[in-house]
Structure formats: C-alpha cells, structure tokens
Amino acid sequence: MFELVDSAPQSAVIKVIGVGGGGGNAVRHMIDHQVDGVDFICANTDAQALSDISSKTCAAVGLGITKGLGAGANPEVVARGFGRQGPYC
C-alpha cells in the first residue's frame, strides 16, 4: 500500500544543454524569458557565439581544430572537436 506524503522535499535537478548555434539560441531564449529552476549549459565550436550567451557554464570545444571560428556545419569537424572518432551521431 502507498501513502502520499506532501511534506517530502522535492529535489529534482533540471539541466538544459544547448549544443551548437541552435542549442545556444534555445538556451538564450529561455534565459531571456527567465525560466527558473534550471541550470543552463552551452557547448559550441564557435567561441564568439558563446560570448553572446549569459549562461553560467559554457564550453568552447574544438578550439585546436576550429580556432574558435565554428565547424561550418561539418559534423566530422564537430566530432573531432568533441574528441570522438568515427561517424558523428
């Protein structure tokens, strides 16, 4: 038998991870609209795009490959930027 307990603390942790330009735009939109109770994280090969996002956690990936200029929508460059071998999926 189950008993509902209303006094139990709720401790859900919600993290939204935006990857690439589209993911960064989505995170920026949520931050601009003051979505509460969410931790935002952004990752992009384009360092300039990350500078426009006020997320506490941003990661510029693949700087050694892209020099921070983005991957040009090339999934192989993105995969190398994230340190993966083989097809990017």
Q: Given a cut of 80, is residue 89 above it in pLDDT?
A: no
Domain assignment present for 41: yes
Range of the domain at 69: 15-81
* Structural domain count, the chain: 1
Domain assignment present for 87: no
Gap between the Cα atoms of 32 and 57, Å rounded: 16
Q: Given a cut of 50, is residue 48 above it in pLDDT?
A: yes
Domain assignment present for 4: no
Question: How much is the average pLDDT of 34-54?
Answer: 89
Gap between the Cα atoms of 28 and 5, Å rounded: 37
Judged on CB neighbours under 10 Å (0-12, 13-18, 19+), 71 is: buried
Q: Given a cut of 80, is residue 82 above it in pLDDT?
A: no
Domain assignment present for 62: yes
The SS3 assignment for 14 reads strand
Q: Given a cut of 80, is residue 52 above it in pLDDT?
A: yes
CATH code for the domain in which residue 63 is found:
3.40.50.1440
The SS3 assignment for 51 reads helix
pLDDT in tens, 2-35: 776 666 677 889 999 999 999 999 999 999 999 9
Domain assignment present for 71: yes
